[in-house]
Amino acid sequence: MKELIGTTGLILNEPLLWEKGKKGRCGFSLPRRHVESFPLDNELTGEGPDFPDLSEVDVVRHYTRLSQWNFGVDTGMYPLGSCTMKYSPKTNERQAGLSGFAGAHPLLPSDLSQGTLRMMYELEQYLAEITGMDAVTLQPAAGAHGELTGMLVIHAYHKNRGAQRSKILVPDTAHGTNPATATLCNYRSIQVNSNEDGILSVESVADVMDEDTAGIMLTNPNTLGLFEENIRQIAEIVHSKGGIVYCDGANLNAVMGIVKMAKIGVDVMHLNLHKTFSTPHGGGGPGSGPVCVKKHLEPFLPVPRVVEEEGRFRLSYNYPQSIGKVQAFHGNIGVMIKAYSYIRSMGPKDLKKASQLAVLNANYIKESLKDTLHLAYDRPCMHECVFSDEKQKDDNVTTLDMAKRLMDYGFHPPTVYFPLVVHGAIMVEPTETESKEDIDKFIEAFKAIANEAKENPDLLHDAPCKSKVRRLDEVSAARKPCLTG
């Protein structure tokens, strides 16, 4: 067995912030007074918060050490299905940090904010082109937020026609945010089951679609990594009953420049700039979830909208049918700048190439591992593929065990136990930024682990053993939550 990627290193322990420091220390350069004191009434003032006092060295060491306990895309391959953990280009960070962008107040008069307004306008155009849609809002702060915005638009659309509906169709493969979002809009989720090929069939949608159903929330390609081949007919059925087709765009990385969602029946969709468009995941955000719509839904988009008049840009609130606002200001500008920079750096040819290579990488993994792991659907996949732990049942090894052991091999585990339609699901999305050598190492690692499952399963049951901590007691954490120190 060749040398594993995952070795041990010198990772230092680091206590909690309030277990360090000494009263009187400060890691901040206090500005000079320059004005006299104007004490406030005692009734209004308090003691101030009980924060530790730390020097700059304390703070820098603390967070440097903490960062070393994390695995990121910059550390190694992070094949989380449906998350598109592609490489985040560093020039994007540089652009977002430019002081003109970073220091601007959101309510500046438009004459004083032409730079960012132009960036927003052009980004909207690019996203409209990629999706084939007519209008875009950049306001939602994340994917789920974009879903909410899209559903609120659908809700407003039906209200405007004088006939609100009570249900929405949600496939069994849907991400949990889909039914949760439906509930926020007072829609009851009606589950539609995928067929034995892992996609939706026309009949199953026709069976449940009626005039009390607001529409359908699809993901295409779906969470099994399969293209919803019947989407055009499904859209027709939904439209024939006056419904709207919503598409969760989380998996757009498979089809940039290859399929335009607007052309296959989608009326409204959200995008994840932190997935498809390379902005970094930040350990769980911030993201950005723009929503793209067809013309008939445009009047309902949140305000303000970016408008262009003779080469100048401004924000307009003049949209009487708008759903209002979903965030206080205009969206996650800092994130948008990175996506904008990515699109400008890739250009049309390489965006398409990115999708093609993402799909190539996923199919390559699928073919290479299908003898080792049970493949849930033995058909060509898009940018991700789904395995299960079926083959390891006799070894008494689960998906969880294999995922934990992968860490010792120097890889972040794939998404596990989702989608729910596959028991013990292992969803692998390599993305296009992984090289063939790194993917080959990943395949080798998984094969070695499958072998260990037969010969020495305890290696898996006890995994991970090279990480900073071993398996954690999540049961006690839930029984007796300790959420503050």
Partner 1 sequence: MRYLPHTSEDIDLMLKAVGADCLDDLFSTIPNDCLSKDDLALPEALTEWELDSHMSTLSGAMAVSPDYKVFMGAGSYEHYIPASVSYLLGRSEFVTSYTPYQPEVSQGTLQAIYEYQTLAARLLGMEVATASHYDGATALAESLLMAVRITQKTRVAVSSLIHPFYRQVVRTYFEPTGYEVIELPYLKNGLTDIDGLDELNDLAAVAVQSPNFFGCIENLKEIGEKVHNKEALFITCFTEALSYGLLKNPGSQDADIVCGEGQSLGIPRSFGGPALGMLASRKKYMRSLPGRLVGQTKDLDGKRGFVLTLATREQHIRREKATSNICTNNSLCALAAAIYMASVGGTGIKKLAELNHDRAEYLKQELKKAGFRISFESPTFNEFVVEFPEGFDLVYDRLLKKKIVAGLPLSIYYPELVNHYLLCVTETMSKNDMDALVMEVKS
Partner 2 sequence: MKEISELNLPTDLRYAEEHEWAKLEDDKVRVGLDDYAQDQLGDIVFVELPKVGDTFKKGEVFATVESVKAVSECYMPVSGEIVSVNNSLEESPELVNKSPYGDGWFVVINPGNPSEMDTLMTNETCLKKLKGTE
Is position 368 an interface residue for partner 1 (rule: CB under 8 A)? yes
> Which residues lie below 8 Å from residue 312, measured CB to CB, with a gap of 6+?
110, 114
**Side chain identity, residue 148:** L
CB closer to partner 1 out of 180 and 207: 180
CB closer to partner 2 out of 16 and 475: 475
Among 1, 8, 479, 483, binds partner 2 (CB under 8 A): 479
- DSSP notation for 340-394: HHHHHHHHHHHHHHHHHHHHHHHHHHHHHHTTTSEESS-S--SS-EEEESGGGGG
Backbone angles phi and psi of 399, in degrees to 5: -55, -45
Given a contact cutoff of 8 angstroms between Cβ atoms, the answer to whether 370 and 429 are in contact is: no
> Which residues within the stretch 123-162 sit at the binding site for partner 2 (CB under 8 A)?
none
Judged by CB under 8 A, which stretch of 200-208, 252-260, 384-392, 452-460 contacts partner 1? 252-260
CB closer to partner 1 out of 204 and 419: 419
Among 244, 252, 354, 427, binds partner 1 (CB under 8 A): 354
Q: Is 184 strand, coil or helix?
A: helix
Given a contact cutoff of 8 angstroms between Cβ atoms, the answer to whether 282 and 297 are in contact is: no
Among 40, 107, 478, 483, binds partner 2 (CB under 8 A): 478
Is position 121 an interface residue for partner 1 (rule: CB under 8 A)? no
CB closer to partner 2 out of 309 and 474: 474
Closest listed residue to residue 456, CA positions, set 375, 401, 412, 376: 401
Q: How many CB atoms lie within 10 A of CB 292?
A: 29
Backbone angles phi and psi of 291, in degrees to 5: -115, 130
Q: Is 267 strand, coil or helix?
A: coil
From the list partner 2, partner 1, none, which binds 485 (C-beta under 5 to 8 Å, kind-based)?
partner 1
Closest listed residue to residue 150, CA positions, set 327, 326, 328, 339: 326
Whole-number Å distance between alpha carbons of 424 and 419: 9
> Which residues within the stretch 126-185 sit at the binding site for partner 1 (CB under 8 A)?
126, 129-130, 141-145, 147-148, 152, 155-156, 175-177, 179-185
Is position 268 an interface residue for partner 1 (rule: CB under 8 A)? no
Among 160, 396, 435, 451, binds partner 1 (CB under 8 A): 435
Among 2, 3, 211, 284, binds partner 1 (CB under 8 A): 284
From the list partner 1, partner 2, none, which binds 53 (C-beta under 5 to 8 Å, kind-based)?
partner 1
Is position 475 an interface residue for partner 2 (rule: CB under 8 A)? yes
Task: Report in angstroms how near the CB of residue 481 gets to partner 2 at its nearest.
Answer: 9
Judged by CB under 8 A, which stretch of 2-10, 199-207, 462-470, 471-479 contacts partner 2? 471-479
Is position 474 an interface residue for partner 2 (rule: CB under 8 A)? yes
- DSSP notation for 420-460: TTSTT-EEE---TTS-HHHHHHHHHHHHHHHHHHHH-THHH
Judged by CB under 8 A, which stretch of 60-68, 121-129, 309-317, 474-482 contacts partner 2? 474-482
For partner 2, the binding residues (CB under 8 A) are: 417, 474-475, 478-479
